[in-house]
């Protein structure tokens, strides 16, 4: 008998798609930036995409550990053209707010249907979304201090996350 309910399993499969969609979006942003020679910011979003795949894996591993079934859903085609760096970093922040809303909805659902074993997993994602939104707003704040996008790019470094992140 599975520990995870069918309802929660279905909700997590949808969240896996959200995380993979996020990765796909950030990958698209990364290669738009790369093409414009904003190499550091391209790397920033490339690493962000990798983090999203780690997030998806966390949900997949949880489903398997609790006896559920991972069902991969079709991914959304991400936007592939932007007008500016500013448009990308604003869209990145908006996207993270969207994901935070999805995580909060999962917490509410888990409480409604007494899926208490998911508490640790969901708390990790609540904390992660605080960090994700902070990273996204930091980029916006930093960018506001530069008149030149190339200079902003040169000063935007990011190190790869560890697998636990």
Give the binding site for ligand FEO (CB under 6 A).
19, 22, 52, 55, 96, 99, 132
Residue 19 vs 153, nearer CB to ligand FEO: 19
For ligand FEO, the closer CB: 80 or 97: 97
CA 73 to the chain's CA centroid: 16
Q: Decide whether 60 or 154 has the Cβ nearer to ligand FEO.
A: 60
C-beta nearest to ligand FEO: residue:
55
d(CA 89, CA 85): 6
Closest approach of ligand FEO to the CB of residue 147, in Å: 29
Shortest separation between residue 42's beta carbon and ligand FEO, angstroms = 17
CB of 157 to ligand FEO, least distance (A): 19
Comparison of 135 and 154: residue with beta carbon closer to ligand FEO: 135
CA distance 82 to 72: 28
Alpha carbon of 31 to those of 108, 125, 132: distances in Å?
36, 27, 20
Q: How near is the Cβ of 43 to ligand FEO at its closest, in Å?
A: 16
Nearer to ligand FEO, 27 or 99 (CB): 99
How far apart are CB 149 and ligand FEO at their closest, in Å?
Answer: 23
DSSP 83-133: S-HHHHHHHHHHHHHHHHHHHHHHHHHHHHTT-GGGHHHHHHHHHHHHHHH
What gap in Å lies between CA 151 and CA 4, rounded to an integer?
Answer: 49
Residues in the chain: 165
- What radius of gyration, in Å, describes the C-alpha atoms of the chain? 17
């Amino acid at each position: 008998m599975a520990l995870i309910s069918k309802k929660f399993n279905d909700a997590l499969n949808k969240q896996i798609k959200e995380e993979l969609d996020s990765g796909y979006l950030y990958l698209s942003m990364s290669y738009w930036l790369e093409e414009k020679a904003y190499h550091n910011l391209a790397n920033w979003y490339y690493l962000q995409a990798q983090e999203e795949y780690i997030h998806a894996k966390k949900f997949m591993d949880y489903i398997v550990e609790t006896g559920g079934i991972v069902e991969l859903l079709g991914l959304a085609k991400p936007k592939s053209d932007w007008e500016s760096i500013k448009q990308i970093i604003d869209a990145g922040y908006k996207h993270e707010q969207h994901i935070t809303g999805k995580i909060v909805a999962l917490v509410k659902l888990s409480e409604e249907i007494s899926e208490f074993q998911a508490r640790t997993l969901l708390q990790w994602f609540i904390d992660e979304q605080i960090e994700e939104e902070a990273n996204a707003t930091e980029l916006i704040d930093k960018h506001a201090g530069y008149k030149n996008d190339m200079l902003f790019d040169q000063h935007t470094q990011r190190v790869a996350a560890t697998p636990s992140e």
